[in-house]
Amino acid sequence: MRALVLASLLLVDCAPAANCDTACADSVTLEAMVNATTTQLAGATLSECRNTACATGTLGAAGGSPSNLAGTLVGAFSVSVSVSATGSSAAVMTDTSGGGGAFVDGDVWSLTLTSAMGEQLLDAGSAVDYQAITSCTNTCKQADLALTP
């Protein structure tokens, strides 16, 4: 099954704090559009990787709505996942914070999604060059990335 994937890597807002005591913490948000129903996505396994460091988890019902799924991926870093489905497509969003070491230009970010029945719904990844943002004495990194399967 083909998936249209639009991913955006956004790192924490590094706007200067009034007193400059707030440290930046790297974080990443990935978004992907997947051609799959909530039935296919319920119980699916999602993995997010940065190079060879990965976090994996299972999607389950969220908020009492069959069109919303959520999960937490664990491993090299912590990832919160939300999925909002309409008909035969779904928007998958991951929010990653901490772990995995310093972000380096050329890092490869990827998402893999496999249904509970073993059907691969998504497998996409790409290298990224980060934009450094300086706030007070802290440096954060930011990148926008569109993944195609």
83-124 pLDDT tens trace: 888 888 887 877 776 666 778 889 898 999 999 999 999 998
Tokens coding 75: 């491993």
**pLDDT reported for residue 122:** 92
Average pLDDT of the chain is 75
Closest CA to 119 of 30, 4, 3: 3
Residue 19 vs residue 16, higher pLDDT: 19
**pLDDT reported for residue 6:** 40
Residue 137 vs residue 53, higher pLDDT: 53
Distance CA 111, CA 131 (A): 21
For the chain, helix, strand, coil in percent to 5 are: 5, 55, 45
